[in-house]
Amino acid sequence: MFVVTYRKIFYTFSAIFVIASMVSVCVWGLNFGIDFKGGTLVEITYPAVSFPAGRPTQAVITGELASISATVPNLNSSSIQPSGTTGYILRLRALSQPEKIALEGALNIGSTTVQETSFQSIGPVLGAQAARAAALSIVFVILAIVLFIAYAFRRVAQPVSSWKYGMVAIIDLLHNIIIPIGVFSVLGHFYGYEIDTLFVTALLVVLGFSVHDTIVVFDRVRENLRLSGTKKPFDEIVGMSIAQTFTRSVNTSLTTLIALFALYFVGGSATQHFSLVLIIGIAAGTYASIALGSPLLVTIQKMAAKKNLKASKK
């Protein structure tokens, strides 16, 4: 298949996206939400009777926050996002009880009493613990997946050892989570997108979904190796395996992406970023399972063959 023949071109595309994502994270960092750095999350709703348009403008809310800067300082970096048609979600620094009362008073615009539908306060210690737990969960999932692949392909020893299937899976998985992280680094810098627990949940879903595609191709490679033995070159077997699973991989991902796009455009603001991570990660995972993972097996096999050839000449 042409993917195997022109694998270096596909490697280049992946390298460009991964390097760009890593540079973005190094330069701009990640905009962590209150789940990880601590703070206050307030969800408010304004009665439609007082505001025929549904709610006051975001500029009005920003002005009200500025008006209490003497009582509640350091609110200039607060995040204000629309919620539904009548409310807002405010992400603020951690507030004391007097500051909370002052904030509620400022949000009561004019004679209108705002309805506070949610108020959550997370301390910095709990935020740091959540960040560690999120990182450990991702590492644990990757390790468990690699061990499973190494065990599942334990009887495949030639021409690529079973543990190398697991190593390729690691590269695949890293590719599939680095790209969404890089994209959210850019979005966080320019548009205020935050990294929260839903983001981590979406990454875990991406890991499971993408490795499923990779294992399907690997399993077909294993089956074709069993049927063909040494009658066909390994790169031909891998190319044939990709061709046999190509339609299935694309169709499965496409149907999932259609549902995710619907959730992104029609769903609420709470699930919008979650679905965006899934869209980016699943698209990257589908590409990697076809154009990165299996072709890497061919590259590893050819490198091993050259090494053995040099050793035999000595």
- Looking at residue 73, what is its pLDDT? 87
- Looking at residue 107, what is its pLDDT? 87
Tokens 């040494």 belong to residue = 230
Tokens read off for 287: 């590409």
Helix (H) or strand (E) holding 135: helix 124-152
Task: For each of the domains in the chain, give its residue range(s) and CATH number, in order of start.
Answer: 2-33+125-313 (1.20.1640.10), 39-122 (3.30.70.3400)
d(CA 221, CA 83) in angstroms, rounded, equals 48
- Looking at residue 198, what is its pLDDT? 87
d(CA 191, CA 183) in angstroms, rounded, equals 11
Q: How many CB atoms sit inside 10 A of residue 181's CB? A: 19
Give the distance, in angstroms, between the CA of residue 80 and the centroid of all CA atoms in the same chain: 23
Per-residue pLDDT 10s for the chain (314 aa) are 688 889 999 999 999 999 999 999 999 999 888 878 778 888 988 877 666 666 888 888 888 888 888 888 888 767 888 887 788 888 888 888 888 888 888 888 877 778 888 888 877 666 677 778 888 888 888 888 888 887 877 777 677 777 888 888 889 989 999 999 999 999 998 988 888 888 988 998 998 888 888 888 888 988 888 887 667 888 899 999 999 999 988 999 999 999 999 999 987 777 889 999 999 999 999 999 899 988 999 998 888 888 877 777 66
CB-neighbour burial class of residue 236 (10 A; exposed 0-12, middle 13-18, buried 19+): middle
Helix (H) or strand (E) holding 192: none
CB-neighbour burial class of residue 212 (10 A; exposed 0-12, middle 13-18, buried 19+): middle
272-to-32, 92, 130, 164, 262 alpha-carbon distances in Å: 17, 20, 22, 37, 10
Q: Are 137 and 124 in contact (CB under 8 A)?
A: no
Nearest to 118 by CA among 144, 147, 90: 90
d(CA 219, CA 224) in angstroms, rounded, equals 9
- Looking at residue 179, what is its pLDDT? 96
- Looking at residue 124, what is its pLDDT? 67
- Looking at residue 52, what is its pLDDT? 66
CA-angle at 40, arms to 37 and 41, nearest 5° = 110
- Looking at residue 223, what is its pLDDT? 87
- Hey, is 53 helix, strand or coil? coil
